[in-house]
Amino acid sequence: MTHDVLIVGAGPVGMALALALRHRGLDVALVDSRARGASGGDPRVLALSLGSCQTLRRLGAWDTLDTTPIRRIHVSQEAAFGRTQIDAAELGVDALGQVVRAGDLALALDRTLGVDGLTVIEGSRVASLETGGDDVVVSLDGAQAAVRARLVACAEGGIEESAPDVFSRDYHQHAVITLATPERPHEHRAFERFTAGGPLALLPFGSRYAVVHTASPDAAEHLAALDDVEYMAEVERRLAGRVRLSRVEPRLRFPLMLRYRRAPVGARTVWIGNAAQTLHPVAGQGFNLALRDVWALASAISESAAEDVGSAAVLARYARARRIDRSATIGVTDAMVRLFSNDIGPLAVLRGAGLLTLDACPPLRGLLARTMMFGARAWS
């Protein structure tokens, strides 16, 4: 038996693709090295753009989600002039986005997906892909027999640096993440504070803040080792007293880099999500870009009608549809990290001037906000 589509990875991106394809008359299979539901334990916090929220509603996975709206974003730089605030009310929307625990999102997608009409292969890692003229033979570790599919969508896992046609940039930064309780209600305001060591973001999450604190590896190690009182004082100092904290939870840290496949499609194979691009968390665009990949791929497959879903024509259609948004999101995210993560005097002046210009020009500020909410389609 040959499946129409085999999705590798049962995390949020893989399950979202399965949901996007489930009513299109296709034989879809999902394979994951973990047991089903394992993604529900993911403690990370995601910032969902307004466009991603709309996509999750279309997929039927929104109503049971516990989310926290972002209604204002305060953007500034440390030790230099310039700030701006992006306000949902100014744009005529209730919220710029929503904050959710990644594990809760995974569980909501899994519940919505159910079991009907879907082949799920659990606890099996893909060992190799062998592409033929009409399908792909997917070999699995363990006792599972090989499976065949007309199209393989790799939706999970990082990109090996040795993979062909891959671009990598090490930012020499680590992210320290935690949850912190403010002394006063956050009123759904997020902060993006640019420092010489990297951006510091606070996202409203329930009654707390999700903190993503970027720094050099040595500085991140120091931040992770501070006691709670010292760490809260450090965050408050970085934010120039705009927030006061009363409690902080244990901190985790991980390295940051940019890595992406220059071509996200191959022979009967497509890569989406982290399997296609791994971004710096500045502006929280990684998962939002992945959901736009998902919707565009499902649309390209749907448009194929009687075509072979894994044909070069279908994959070329998908690649064309994603070229501008993908390139722009990767480029803007990378530029933001490199432009703002330094204490070079002339650049600080330029950054401050840019923030002041945004603050004084609502149409420009609105364009930036819509781009963060919807990707490149905000320009059309």
For 28-39, what is each residue's pLDDT tens digit?
999 999 988 899
Question: Does residue 350 register a pLDDT over 80?
Answer: yes
**Nearest 5 degrees, angle CA 116-CA 117-CA 122?**
80
CATH of domain 2-69+96-166+257-340: 3.50.50.60
- Taking the CA atoms of residue 124, residue 126, residue 127 and residue 128 in that order, the dihedral angle to the nearest 10 degrees is 150
pTM over 0.85: yes
Question: Does residue 250 register a pLDDT over 90?
Answer: yes
CA distance to 1, 24, 34, per residue, from 292 (Å): 30, 18, 25
Q: What is the mean pLDDT of residues 106-129?
A: 89
- In this prediction, residue 157 has a pLDDT band, given cuts at 50, 70 and 90, of confident
CATH superfamily of 171-256: D-Amino Acid Oxidase, subunit A, domain 2 (3.30.9.10)
Q: Where are the beta strands (DSSP E) in 235-321?
A: 245-248, 252-261, 265-266, 269-271, 277-278
Q: Model confidence over 21-78: pLDDT tens digits?
A: 988 889 999 999 998 889 999 989 999 999 999 999 999 999 999 999 999 999 999 9
Of 133, 144, 76, 55, the C-alpha closest to 308 is 133
Domain boundaries, the chain: 2-69+96-166+257-340, 171-256
Q: Model confidence over 182-213: pLDDT tens digits?
A: 999 999 999 999 999 999 999 999 999 999 99
Of 325, 67, 17, the C-alpha closest to 8 is 17
Q: How many residues does the chain have?
A: 380
Whether residue 52 contacts residue 288, with contact meaning beta carbons closer than 8 Å, is answered with yes
CA distance to 129, 266, 378, per residue, from 132 (Å): 10, 12, 39
Whether residue 30 contacts residue 10, with contact meaning beta carbons closer than 8 Å, is answered with yes
pLDDT score for 162: 76
Whether residue 188 contacts residue 95, with contact meaning beta carbons closer than 8 Å, is answered with yes
